[in-house]
Chains A and B, each alone.
Chain A
Amino acid sequence: MASRKAIAAPFPFLDTDARAWPGMPELTEARRHSLSRFRAEALPSTRVEAWKYTNLAALARIPFTAPRPSAGDGEAAQAAVRAVPSDRRRLVFVNGRFHAASSITGTAPQGSFVGGLTQALQQAPDLIKPHLAHLTSLDGDALMALNTAFMIDGAALLIGRGQTAEPVELIQVGHAGEAPIAFHPRHLIVVEAGATATLVETRTGEGIYWSNAVTTVVLGEGATLHHHVIQQSSLDAFDLARVQVIADANATYDGSLLGTGAALSRHEVEGLLEGRNVTCRLRGAFLARGTQIADVTTVIDHGERDGQSEQLIRGVLDGKAHGVFQGRIVVRPAAQKTDARQNSNMLMLSDGAEADTKPELEISADDVKCSHGATVGELSDAELFYLQARGIDPDTARRLLVSGFLATVFETVSDDSVRERAAAAVEGWFAS
């Protein structure tokens, strides 16, 4: 083991048996391989460049076990559902397991499926089969391998050719009792050629748990996915989420994140723009205080010509919080006429806070427009003074400025309810 690049992580759950999945004998082999890889590589330390600023040492010290279904799960699921102001179709997961009783899947038209992933393997194997390779892939880092070794379920959103699907809520609840638990959701989102889908993800929870999620998004030619995440996990939780987007020609991935929860969170988006003229829009906002660590990491990989990507990431840090943004734009030799833009802004509200930013451009084509801008700073005295001079007390003035700073991120989100929920989450953060 490359000692200084790894943190030993002898989690008790590593010894539990991973589940076989119906109709997927290949998975058994992939799991075996992935588990031995994780045992060999362990958790990445801060000496691994991708984890330079986010230290997983605290995670490695916790004796996580595998979750067991408990009597309180239904109650937790219901509470989470009540907190989401929406009557849309919903997929509810408790500790990574599909909770059918709280979910509303509706009836999907021919060629589509909305439900749990293990359920999909049984009920719609023909729809899943072409994408099986994504589930058994041996690529990725140690955390990805860990997910493959222990994934038990996740959302399956498969939208058939040319269909416009009604928005779907994905509600995920972490529900840990006395013992800390770890689970590894694996979501598969496939939007076929010309289809359009919207997925709104909410994560909440209680207790000490570790969610190590992987979402694979496959976009066919001209497909569109709006993917919004509101992360309000337990303040004792570790919330690691990786979204991998594979986009074909003329497709659009339109994503947003609002994060206020978790002791340590990392939202990672890897966009592989494989076809021509792909549009990728990422917006992210996080608020952290106390000793929270919030990390947003993105890689936009322009593989073909005429692609457009746009990123706006903003963080607000109070107390002794630590905010991280790493954003890499890659433009391959074939990706001429790429237009890639990225902006990140960190706002520091206190003296103990720490902000680390690493925007990165890796450009191998000449006829492109690529730029990034990054700022770190505190609230402007002039702006505070302006508001106070108009009779607004300092606390309210600060709140207004921070809300405005973050609202800009969501201005371009077309889904009204997401914008409203993001604003409510920011308000909630101030109130808590």
Chain B
Amino acid sequence: MADASTARQVADLGDRYKYGFHTDIEEDRAPKGLNEDVIRFISAKKNEPAWMLEWRLKAYRHWLTLEHEEPSWAKVSYPPIDYQDSTYYSAPKNPGDGPKSLDEVDPKLLETYEKLGIPLRERGILAGVAVDAVFDSVSVATTFKKELGKHGVIFCPISEAVQTHPELVKKYLGSVVPVADNFFAALNSAVFTDGSFVYIPKGVRFPMELSTYFRINAANTGQFERTLIIADEGSYVSYLEGCTAPMRDENQLHAAVVELIALDDAEIKYSTVQNWYPGDADGKGGIYNFVTKRGACRGRNSKISWTQVETGSAITWKYPSCILQGDNSVGEFYSIAITNNMQQADTGTKMIHIGKNTKSRIISKGISAGRAQNTYRGLVKIMPKADGARNFTQCDSLLIGDKCGAHTVPYIEARNRSAHVEHEATTSKISEDQLLYCRQRGLSEEDSMALIVNGFCKEVLQVLPMEFAVEAQKLVAISLEGSVG
């Protein structure tokens, strides 16, 4: 592929790296700001091959041309971000920096863990307590590794995959979300620090849920996470991202990219629970979560299913999408987005029907409370060759209180007459009758509301993997605390 000029370019870059940078590699932190040197620093830190560095630089140079094209169409508002005011690489924190014991952790956080029923040992890890005791998950992880090996499944940090499986990374990285895809994806491509890599070999139906939680070294994937999952012919995998417990993080800007590839007859089920710090009740602080997630159903009869429970972050900007290329392929999107206080969420999906007899299903439940703004934004596009394409979309919004907003912005674009697209959306509030019914039966107002809201979300909750579903139900209730009355 590489012609003479790219080869020369790569060589030049290698030279620069060799002479300009080797001294800095010992540093734990990149200098503040973003420039080509910082990208070379990150790449060198990760000991990446030249093609990977070149790929990052290409993304960075494109990102520079987008200076005035930071997406502004979403219904979210935030002060301009100074991209030169961040540090794009820092080594995992020294264990000595965190709180020494749970006694030093914010009691509010502990209260939430209690409500979620998180085991004691795990609370320490989540809160960033420097525990060096051996904990259960290590042994779990060992059995888990054995199982992976037995099936020939590759599941490792993407930085490791770049070293050990460069052919797969080279072939698939950026093939679903190209470096030039959008402002945040370009930024991520340039500076991503780590993330997960999964390859499921032909015909393997992996019996366990893959989760970042089990991935050793997952503790500090950083603010620019990059995930790549490839399901080869006839394989199946279920992947869990995030966890229900609130996570502490110092970085305000998060711009992750997730790419899924499903080949013939393969199926990927991707579930997310996002509960980043949403900021305080007045909207101070909180994570900006600008995520690009996309799956390509490349093969015939392939299927990709996204399920998300979004309760955290000050701002969520996220559209997990499916490109339905293979004939008979199926895309699904199930979403619960809860915003409270000053949170803003603009989330939805894109279903691009390219192959024949492709089907998609969108179920979105938006719940808005406090002074929050919650938007569903989605696209269903039927291309001219997509004979027999089908889509069903249902977007329901629930408003709690009269200071919040719920918005629905679907786009439906049909270029094939045999397409059948159905979309419906409703907006409502929790009725007095429902509340009264619950209260009469002795439930507290908060419990009543939790029950009703969980009922409102049940179509999505029931497609979550078992262990997530139980926690997500509690999370739904907790996220709405303080919104009654």
Contacts and interface: CB of A to CB of B under 8 A. Distances in A.
Interface of A: 49, 333, 336, 346, 348-351, 353-378
Interface residues on B, range: 35 or more
Contacts of B406: 361, 363
B427 A373 contact: no
Interface string B96-139: 00000000000000000000000000000000000000000000
A361 B397 contact: yes
30 contacts: A333-B403, A348-B414, A348-B416, A348-B417, A348-B419, A351-B416, A355-B412, A357-B411, A359-B410, A359-B423, A359-B425, A360-B408, A361-B425, A364-B405, A365-B399, A366-B400, A366-B429, A367-B402, A368-B399, A368-B427, A368-B429, A371-B426, A373-B422, A373-B424, A374-B412, A374-B424, A376-B412, A376-B420, A378-B418, A378-B419
Determine the main DSSP class of B at the interface with A.
Answer: strand
B366 to A, nearest CB: 10
Given A355-B414, A360-B407, 11 more contacts: A351-B384, A356-B413, A356-B414, A357-B410, A360-B409, A361-B397, A364-B404, A373-B423, A374-B412, A376-B419, A377-B421
Contact of A361 (B407, B412, B413): B407
Given A49-B73, A354-B414, A355-B414, A366 B404 contact: yes
A358 B428 CA distance: 20
A261 to B, nearest CB: 23
A357 B428 CA distance: 23
A110 B404 CA distance: 48
B363 to A, nearest CB: 15
Contacts of B409: 358, 360-361
Contacts, number: 112
A320 to B, nearest CB: 11
B429 A367 contact: yes
A365 B402 contact: yes
A358 B397 CA distance: 17
Contacts of B400: 366
A336 B428 CA distance: 11
B412 A363 contact: no
Nearest to A324: B413
B415 interface: yes
B417 A353 contact: yes
B410 A374 contact: yes
B430 to A, nearest CB: 9
B401 interface: yes
Nearest to B387: A351
A155 B419 CA distance: 43
A375 B410 CA distance: 12
Contact of B399 (A349, A355, A363): A363
A371 B416 contact: no
Nearest to A368: B427
Contacts of B384: 351
Nearest to B373: A364
Closest 7 CB pairs of A and B: A366-B399, A348-B417, A357-B412, A361-B408, A370-B427, A376-B421, A374-B423
Given A358-B412, A360-B409, A363-B405, A372 B424 contact: yes
B277 to A, nearest CB: 26
Contacts of B407: 360-363
A356 B420 contact: no
Nearest to A357: B412
Given A360-B409, A361-B397, A366-B400, A375 B417 contact: no
A200 to B, nearest CB: 32
